[in-house]
Chain A
Amino acid sequence: DAKTTQPTSMDCAEGRAANLPCNHSTISGNEYVYWYRQIHSQGPQYIIHGLKNNETNEMASLIITEDRKSSTLILPHATLRDTAVYYCIIHISGGGADGLTFGKGTHLIIQP
């Protein structure tokens, strides 16, 4: 799986959009960008994933650059409950039950 680079920590004001960047310059054509988050000591939670098109679901939006070397996770209206470590993970969807490789992630702190 390709390596990712994320900022160690970020702050965001409650109610504002939180934009979390991820660099993955060595991503291969068949690798997807996945985002998970982990609220303190809870199990990681799936957020969203995409291959090359932008994606949106009820939790977030994922913007992937045209060259696929970087992406941004957008939480449109951050709340205090969004404070967590956010992991950007590059993963082959057709890899047949392969494990996820968690990097260091970004500790997002939502400020009241």
Chain B
Amino acid sequence: AAGVIQSPRHLIKEKRETATLKCYPIPRHDTVYWYQQGPGQDPQFLISFYEKMQSDKGSIPDRFSAQQFSDYHSELNMSSLELGDSALYFCASSWTSGTGISGEQYFGPGTRLTVT
């Protein structure tokens, strides 16, 4: 079965640079979630989108922004990168019904971002 696709899988950037991570949800899933997992930490929710609209917001820094496109893929844009942004970034997808009920989240393999 098709899974969530994330690209790139690995990314190395220098401080103050920008980075863009991409997420392609499972076919027929209309909801995308972004999570950050620092070294030795548990995953932390950043932001989610349903039908191209921001749905929920977690601990996402102001330097980060994200959007969901008409084909339901999503991009996480990170600017003015700091050493502390080095982490695994996971995207997850699910379906959401018209009444607001969301199915279980399926996670991608993650993008490992290293800021030097």
Contact assessment for A98 and B55 in the assembled complex, using a CB-CB cutoff below 8 Å:
yes
Q: Is chain A's interface secondary structure helix, strand, loop, or mixed overall?
A: loop
Contact check, B100 vs A44: say whether CB atoms are below 8 A apart.
no
Name 23 A/B residue pairs within 8 A (Cβ), A-sorted.
Answer: A42-B110, A43-B92, A43-B108, A43-B110, A44-B107, A46-B104, A46-B105, A49-B104, A94-B100, A96-B96, A96-B101, A96-B102, A97-B31, A97-B49, A97-B50, A97-B100, A98-B48, A98-B56, A99-B35, A99-B48, A100-B43, A100-B105, A102-B44
Interface residues of A (CB under 8 A from B): 34, 38, 41-46, 49, 87, 93-105
B residues near A, CB below 8 A?
Answer: 4, 31, 33, 35, 42-50, 55-56, 58, 88, 90, 92, 94, 96, 99-102, 104-110
